[in-house]
Each structure stands twice: as C-alpha cells, then as structure tokens.
Amino acid sequence: MKRDYYEVLGVGKEASSDELKKAYRKLAMELHPDRNPGNKEAEEQFKEAAEAYSVLSDGEKRKVYDQFGHAGLGGGGGGGQQFQFDPNQFADFEDILGSFFGGGLFGDLFGGGGGGRRRASGEERGSDLQYNLKLSFRDALLGKEVVELSIPRLEACDTCRGSGCEAGTKAETCPQCRGAGQVAVRQGFFQMLTPCPRCSGKGRVIPKPCRDCKGEGRIHRKSKVSFKVPAGVDRGTRLRLQNQGEVGRFGGRTGDLYVVFDVEPDLRYERDGSDLHQRLEVAWPLLVIGGSLDVETPYGMDKIKLAPGTPADHVVKLQNAGVPRLQATGRGDLYLHLRVAVPKSLTAEQRDLVEQLRRSFGGDDEAEEGFLAKVFGSEKHGKKKK
C-alpha cells in the first residue's frame, strides 16, 4: 500500500509550500543515494519523497490528492492516463543538490528532460567534495608550491575496476523494467510510472556483485591530493580541482574537489582586495625636517622618503607591494598610514632641547598655538584613514 504523501514528507495537511519545500529538501539531502551508497531503503525513500513532493508542490494535483487520495491522481478523464514526474519542478533543487552531490540521480530518475529517453546504464556522476583549508597570511600572499591533503572519498574499486561485478561476470539489463528503470503501477483507474523496484531505477542488475565493493563499484578510501596554492588567494577563494572528487558510478564522470581557503589575519596588515594597509609609527622630528626611513614590506625591506613638513596623517603609497592579483597580473599597493610616535619619557637633555624648541616657536604659555601643539595635538588627526 502506498504511504500518504504528507506522511512521507513528515508535514501536516496544512503545510505551506515553503514548509513542503523545506521538508523535501531536508529529506532529499538525508536520503540522497550519494550519501547512502548501497542503502536500498534510503534510495526507495528518496524516490518516495520526490514523488510526494512533485504532487504536493503542484496546487492542482495537491487539491485532487487531498480530495481523492492516491486514486484521484492522473487528472480527470478515463483510465490509462499516465502520471509522470515533471523534471522542471526539480530545477531549483537541482541547483541546491547539484552543488552538493553533482545531481547525478536527478538525471537518472527523470530522464534526459525533454528527450524522454533515460540512460539505461545507471551511470551516475560522482559527488563534488569540499575541503576548507586554513592558510597563514603569508602563504595566502605568496602562494605555496605544494599542499598535500588527505581526502576521504569514494574511488573505483580495484577488484572489479568499478563495474561492481565479480570477475568473469557482468551486469545485465534488468528483467523487470527491461532497462527502462521505471515500471507502470496501477493506481485505481490510473497507471503511474514509478522507479523499478528490482533495479532501483538503474535499469540494470548485477547477478554476482563484487565481494570487495558489494556491487557498488566504488570503495571508501583516503587519498593524497596535492596542488599548488596560487599567490593572492583570499578568505573564501574557491579552487576547483577537476576530477578530484568522488568517482562516478558505473562509468559516470568523476566529481570535482573544491578547496575553500580561510586566511589567518596578520596584525600588521589590513587587507582590502589586493591592497594592503599598514600603520607606520614615525618619530615627529622626522616629519618636521624630513628624511628617509626603512620600512619592512611583505617582500623585503624598502626605503621611503619623507619631505620636510610631512603632515602627521600622511599616507605613503608603495606601488606593487600589495597582494598579487589572482585573475590578473601585478600586485596591489601597500599603503603606509603614518602615525606620530610621541615619546613617553625623555632624557634631561632631550627635555631641554624640546623646551628650547617650544620657546623658539613662541611664548612660554602659548603652547596651544605653538609648535608642540602642532605636533602633539596633531595626534588626533593621525588616526588611520580608510
């Protein structure tokens, strides 16, 4: 007996279309065959959920189902009319699931869209995988020649070379559906196409499954994958390693591996795209009379020149000393935001000199307008500009 569609999705009869969608999406993710390799029960439940959703998400069909139950489906008219899945209804799920699983099963279940002919081979694209890799600020900036990851994934079974069959045997066309993957089931007056129970919609059966992979053609293994990190990756940059995901089923394409980067911050720098910003403390006399200053950039030491009378909030731009541009050539720039270093303590001699200086700029008690005020007071302007 067929289960109630609402029960299948685990929602109430009043469920909104959003609730239906959510419930179905959750089930589809849990039960997806790629997540449950070889688990026939999960596969059946997955298809059951897809069928339930295809009906309940359609206002018209849902009304009919609410009134007449399973027997009511198939629309008005006489008997013999077939009810089929509408592949278009699953378009948005394909987007969601496709990014997780490669969407192989949808192609399998619902045929080639308009073409109507499904692949009888049961082939299924392998899942894409994602690996989150944390990099130091420096490695993200300069790149890394070799990174080796240990990736657990499904790979082709060596014993049967991915066929799933014991040596000397091969897969046969499913006798029940004759390779079509679906069979007609009577529902009261109507006939419905449902995935073939014998072959679970694959269209073929394996008479003697391989002992090592139990007919799956794939086995779980941990494999080393090495690749190069390009210079200039940022937090969230995604690197696609083609064919490094899970192997497909029965000749299906291999999925891809996506490496998503996370980058540790560096207290010295603030990154803005391909530009870097850095605070640079400068002794105030240098701003006043000018001079040159050694600065450390990510690429080594550099020298900057400050003109006499450089403002306290001056920004020096070091061209091409920023982050390498990922999709282009060259690098961004490094901006040095000057900050006046005010000494907390002075020797008696220094104090005398500063005092003399202050006086030379005018009046004992007019420090507010005097030179020192300009320099010390300027600290409030010296904040980093963004």
Where on the chain is the footprint of Zn ion (CB under 5 A)? 157, 159-160, 174, 176-177, 196, 198-199, 210, 212-213
Quote the least distance from Cβ 207 to Zn ion, whole Å.
13
Query: Which residues, at least 6 apart from 140, have a Cβ–Cβ distance to it below 8 Å?
Result: 229, 232, 233, 234, 261, 263
Residue type, 253: R
Strands (E), the chain: 82-83, 129-135, 144-156, 172-173, 182-187, 190-195, 204-205, 218-229, 238-241, 257-263, 269-272, 275-283, 291-297, 300-306, 315-318, 334-341
Quote the least distance from Cβ 87 to Zn ion, whole Å. Answer: 20
Q: Which CB, 169 or 237, lies closer to Zn ion? A: 169
- Give me the least distance between CB of 124 and Zn ion, in Å please: 15
Determine contact, residues 255/129, Cβ cutoff 8 Å.
yes
Identity of the residue, 177 or 312, whose beta carbon is nearer to Zn ion in the bound complex:
177
CA nearest to 107, candidates 248, 256, 257: 248
**Shortest distance (Å) from residue 215 CB to Zn ion:** 7
d(CA 257, CA 244): 5
Of residues 206 and 334, the one with the C-beta less far from Zn ion: 206
Residue 182 or 244: the one with the smaller Cβ distance to Zn ion is 182
Alpha carbons within 13 A on the beta-carbon side of 25? 16
Nearest distance, CB of residue 161 and Zn ion, angstroms: 8
Shortest distance, CB of residue 201 to Zn ion, whole angstroms? 7
3-state helix, strand, coil in the chain (%, to 5): 30, 25, 45
Q: What is the DSSP letter of 124?
A: B
CB of 162 to Zn ion, least distance (A): 7
Query: In this complex, which beta carbon is closest to Zn ion, that of residue 28 or of residue 174?
Result: 174
